Amino acid sequence: MNDWHETEIRVRYAETDQMGIVHNSNYLIWFEVGRSEFCRARGFSYKEMEEKENALMVVAESYCRYKSPAYYEDVLTVRTKVEELRSRSLRFVYEIYRPVDETLIAEGETLHLVTDENKKVRSLPVSYKKKLLADEILDQNAFPADQAPS
């Protein structure tokens, strides 16, 4: 759907377990970091959407597959994109990798329902839908490279 948005993080000591490996609980937090930065790159923040439109993105499902360990001081890249966007829900997918040795560390996804402050499911405001799909909208309006407008 959209291109990947990349966010760099560095593993902190507190994020590791006794074996020096990143504890599994941190990956969902890093997914949230990637998701928040993805939205900022598209021109808005969660807080703005909540306050201006009374639209909250509630996590309904999460999934993470651990592929390789990460360690203290590793510099990692969280790659985030929107995989699916419906009127009342959206799905983000993630990859976390270590660029220095091109190792995929983890991959996953989160499904979000859009609700109001009372947790009643509602539609995603059109303005935010457009921002989330900005690249796709531009692609749909562009003319193919080998064709002129008619």
Q: Which residues are catalytic?
A: 17
CA distances from 33 to 15, 26, 37, 40, 150 (A): 14, 11, 6, 11, 44
On the CB side of 41, CA atoms within 13 Å amount to: 19
CA distances from 89 to 2, 55, 82, 85 (A): 16, 11, 11, 6
Stretch (H or E) spanning 89: strand 89-98
Q: Rounded distance, CA 90 to CA 60, Å?
A: 10
